[in-house]
Amino acid sequence: METEPDIAGSVFAGCKIISKLGQGGMGSVYKARHEALDKFVCVKLLSPDLAREQRNIEFFLREARSAAKLEHPNIVHVYNFGQENGSYFIVMSYVEGKSLQELVNEKGPLPVKQATDIMTGVLEALAHAHAKSVIHRDIKPANILVGLDNVPRIVDFGLARSITEEKQLTMAGEMVGTAYFMSPEQGLAGQVDARADLYAAGATYFYILTAKYPFDGKSSIEVIHKHISEPLPNIVLVNPDVPLWAARVIERLMRKKPEERYQTAGEVIAELSKHPDGEDEPRQTESNFDLAELTARVARSHAPSQEASLESSQPHTPAPPAVRQWEAPPPPPAAAQRRPDITEPPQAAKPALQLAALHNGLKAAVHLALTMAGTGCFVLSGASGTVRGSLTSPFVSDPASAGLLFAAGAALYAWALWQKPLKFTLGYAFFAAAAAATAYSGGVYIPAPAGADTIAKGFLALQIGLNHAFSSANLIVYALFLYLAASKAVFKNWGLKISALAAYLLGMLLAYYYFKGGIQVIPDRGWLAAGAVFALLGSAAAATKKQFSLFFNPQLFFLAAYLSMFAMFTSPQVERIAERRTLDQQAQASRQNMLNMAQYQQALAEAQSQALYDEEGRPLPPKLPGKPEEIKPPSRLVLQSQARLEYYKFLGARIRSALAESAGIIFIAFFLSLMANAFFLDELITAYKERELF
C-alpha cells in the first residue's frame, strides 16, 4: 500500500491545504482555504490504492457529479472536481461541526425535538435530491454533518445514482449501503428507488433517539438478515421518552415492503410538522355514533326503576346502622323486593331479538334461493353452446343467450353478496367463484344431442342428475362435499364436531369404493396403514382443537388420509403398468441389439473381404467397423414415473367422462354453492350473537 504523502501547506486545485480532517472509505478529507473564494473548504482526495481501478474512479467522480446537481442548504455544496497531478479530487463546502454519529456517541440519545428538527432537514434534502432523480443509498448518521448552527447537511454521495442513469456501476446482485441502515430491498440486491432512502432515514431517526441500532448482530450478514425478516423492535420499549407519534412515523418508514412505507419525503415532513414541539399533543380520537336501538336499551337499563319511584312515595325510614366488615349485610327492605308486576328492561328486548332471529332466517332462505338460482343460470349459460366440451362455444355460437344468462347469474350472486353482514370474506368468495365456474363448465359438458336448445339441455341435465343421484360415478362428488362440510364444522361445538368426524369417515368410505371401482386390486398395505394413522390423528385433532391450527390440523390430516387412500389403489395399478413397460422396453432393447449385431457382423465380413493397397502396392490392413454399444432399457425409476403419468391421465379422463355423463360436475357446482351458504349462515349467527350481547 502506498503511503499517502503529507500535503499540508501545499496548494492543490486552487486551495491551500491547512490540515487533515479525517480518513474515509474512498480517501482522505482535508481542510483548506479556497484562494479565489477566500473561504474555508473541504478537499477530498481519492486514495492512490483505489485510484488504480477504473471502477473506483467512476464511483468517486459519480459522487461529485451527483452532489453537483443539487443546490440545497441541507446538502454540502460541490465547487469543483476532477484530476490534478495524478490525483482525483472534490472541493466542497466546509461545515464547522460534527457528524450526527459523533453527536450521539458524545451525548447519547438526542432530545425528541432536536432529533426531529435534524431529520426534517435531512428529509427536505432528500426531497430535493429525489426531485432531481438522485438516490443517495447510504443515509446514515456518519453521512450527516450538523453544523454549529444545528443545520444538518448530507455528505458522501459515493453510492448515489440517478434513477434514469443507464450505466450501472454496481454489478448485478451486489449490495451497496451500510448494513445497520440498509433497506430490505438493498439487502436482497433488488430494485432500489427513493423509498430505500426513506427506510434508511427511519433507521437513522431510530438510532439518534435511542443511541442503538434498530437491528444489531455479530456480522453484517446477520444484521442484513434481520432487516429483511425480523419485525422492527418497539422503540418505546427501548426509550420510553419517545412519543407515540414518533414511533408510528419510524414504524411506517421502516416497513419491509416499499409500497407500505411513506412514498415521498414530503409525506414524512408533513407528518413531522404536526408536532413542532416534539411532544404528544392531546387529540380527540373518539367518535360518537348514535345507534337508536342500542341507545334506547342502555337508557332503559340505567333509568330509575318504577320500584324507586314507589319507594320515594313511602315515608322516609332511617338508614340501618353501619355494618362491620366481618358482619353479613342486612337483607334489603321489603319495599325494595322485586315485584312481579314490573317488567325488567332486558326481558323487554327479547321480542326484538326474536324478530331479528326470524329476519335472519328469512335472509338465509333468500340467500340460498339466490345462489341456487344463480348457479342454475351459470349452468344454462354454459349449455347455450353448440360444441360440447368447448368453454368458448357458448359465447361464440350464441353470445346473446350466453351473455344474458351469465349476467343474470352474476347479478343473483351480487344480490346474495349484498345480504352478507361482511361484504367480503375470503372463504365465501372462493366457494362462490368456484360454484359459478364449475356450474358454467357443467353446462358445457351436458351430454345433449346435436341441435338441442338451451332449455332442453337444462331439463336434460336435471333428468340425468336425478337418474344418477346415487350412481357410483358420483361417489367422489359426495366424498368431496362431505370433506368440505366437515372441514367447515370441525371447530364448532361438540355436536358439530361429532357430525364432522362422521362426515370425514363417511367421505373416506365413499372414496374407498370409488377408487376401488369394482376392480380386483389388492390395496397397498403401506398406504393403508398411513391412511389409518392420518385418520386417527385427524380424529384426535378434531376432538381437541377449538380453532384453526397450522400443524395439528384435522383438515390437513384427513386430506392426507384421502390422498393415502388414493395412493393405496393407484400404486398397484402403476406397478402393473411399470412392469408391462419394463418387459416391453427389455424386448425392444433386445431386438435392437440383435439387429445392431447382425449389421455389425455383415459390415465386418465385408471389410475383411476387401483388399486395400497403398500407392506403392503394399497391402493395407482392413478398416474394421466399430462394435455397436449395447442398448439398455430405461431404469426402473424412469419407467415408474412414465407409468404413473400414464395412469393419472387415464384416471383423469375416466373421472372427467364419468362426471360429465352423470352430471356430476353440476352436482359439484351446487355443493360449492351450499358451502358458500354455510359461510353466509356462519356470519349471520355471529352477527346475531354479537347483537344479543347488548
- The answer to whether 676 touches 413, Cβ cutoff 8 Å, is no
What is the rounded CA–CA span in Å between residue 619 and residue 338?
135
Which pairing describes strands 27-34 and 39-46: parallel, antiparallel, or unpaired? antiparallel
Q: Is 193 a catalytic residue?
A: no
Strand partners, 32: 17, 41
Cα 633–638–641 angle (5° rounding)?
Answer: 140
Strand partners, 81: 90
Q: Which long-range contacts (CB under 8 A, 24 or more apart) does 2-7 make?
A: 2/48, 2/49, 4/28, 4/47, 4/48
- The answer to whether 272 touches 279, Cβ cutoff 8 Å, is no
Helix intervals (H) in 273-349: 292-302, 306-313, 345-348
- DSSP secondary structure, 640-658, as one string: HHHHHHHHHHHHHHHHHHH
What is the rounded CA–CA span in Å between residue 232 and residue 248?
11
> Between the CA atoms of 545, 547, 551 and 557, what dihedral angle is there, to the nearest 10 degrees?
60
Residue 102 CB neighbour total at 10 angstroms: 14
Catalytic entry in 138, 197, 398, 524: 138
Strand partners, 12: 15
Say how many CA atoms lie within 13 Å of 198 toward its Cβ. Answer: 27
Longest CA pairwise span in the chain (Å): 155
Residues in the chain: 694
Picking from 655, 652, 662, 666, the residue whose alpha carbon sits closest to that of residue 435 is: 666
> Between the CA atoms of 540, 542, 543 and 546, what dihedral angle is there, to the nearest 10 degrees?
130
CA pseudo-torsion sign 654, 660, 664, 667: positive
What is the rounded CA–CA span in Å between residue 264 and residue 537?
52
> Which three cell numbers, joined as nine digits, stand for 120?
426534517
> Which three cell numbers, joined as nine digits, stand for 392?
368458448
Residue 688 CB neighbour total at 10 angstroms: 15
Tell the burial category of 372 from Cβ atoms under 10 Å away from its Cβ (0-12, 13-18, 19+): middle
Question: What Cα–Cα distance (Å) separates residue 431 from each residue in 41, 420, 465?
Answer: 70, 14, 21
**279: which residues sit within 8 A by CB, 6+ positions away?**
112, 113, 243
What is the rounded CA–CA span in Å between residue 408 and residue 373?
9
Rg of the chain over all Cα atoms, to the nearest angstrom: 41
- The answer to whether 670 touches 678, Cβ cutoff 8 Å, is no
Which pairing describes strands 97-99 and 144-147: parallel, antiparallel, or unpaired? antiparallel
| Grid-cell match 454533518, residue found | 145
- The answer to whether 649 touches 574, Cβ cutoff 8 Å, is no
Strand partners, 33: 16, 40
Picking from 477, 529, 547, 542, the residue whose alpha carbon sits closest to that of residue 507 is: 477
| Grid-cell match 476532477, residue found | 82
Which residues does the annotation mark as catalytic?
138
